[in-house]
Copies of this chain bind each other. A is one copy, B any other.
Amino acid sequence: MKILEERIIKDGVVRAGNVLKVDCFLNHQMDISLFQEMAAEWKKRFEGQKITKILTIEASGIAIACIAATAFDNVPVVFAKKTESLNIDGEIYSSKVTSFTKKRVYDVFVSKKYLKPDDHILIIDDFLAVGSALNGLIDIVQQSGATVEGLGIAIEKGFQGGGDSLREKGYHLESLAIVDKLDAETGEIGFRK
């Protein structure tokens, strides 16, 4: 998606350790107009697929998922939570996720009330690297018996392999920008053609 790639070039900052900082428009300060264009693009790419619910993960996935929902007839959005909360009761689906940036393992969970076998789920998240969060969300959907209709990612770090592994498994993955090169010394950012 050209305008997302251009925005990454303009405002993204490359850091050592394959870190791409985009907190000025994606995951700290958020550009709602850009999110609306991303939503329209996902709508086009998942045209004709039945989507009954969008699933994402806190925190920065929530914003993109909610604006995406406005392009999918305002389907409900559910976000997986990262720590047990006193306000969650009843039974949950859970999975383990390793954070790339925070370098730790945590549990993610969704209340069983909000994923049903007849749901058709579009999973949305801001980043895809090795795919730990996305695989955790897929695991949760599969536990519920619902169908994973598609995976919508804003920025995939293609060189970390998580996306290609999911494509090989047959998932319909639509990443709006696939970064194939990050050079912390020169600041260069290369995209997959």
Show the binding face of A for B, using Cβ within 8 Å: 19, 21, 23-24, 27-33, 35-36, 58-60, 62-63, 66-67, 69-70, 74-79, 81, 85-89, 101-103, 110-111, 113-114
CB–CB A32/B78 < 8 A? no
CB–CB A30/B63 < 8 A? no
Contacts A58-B59, A59-B58 given; does A74 touch B28 at CB 8 Å: no
Contacts A23-B87, A24-B114 given; does A31 touch B66 at CB 8 Å: no
A74: chain B residues within 8 A (beta carbon): 32-33, 36
CB–CB B114/A28 < 8 A? yes
A69: chain B residues within 8 A (beta carbon): 32
23 A-B interface contacts by CB (under 8 A) = A23-B88, A24-B114, A28-B81, A28-B111, A28-B114, A29-B76, A29-B78, A29-B111, A29-B113, A30-B77, A31-B76, A32-B66, A32-B70, A32-B75, A33-B74, A62-B62, A63-B77, A66-B66, A67-B67, A70-B70, A85-B101, A85-B102, A86-B103
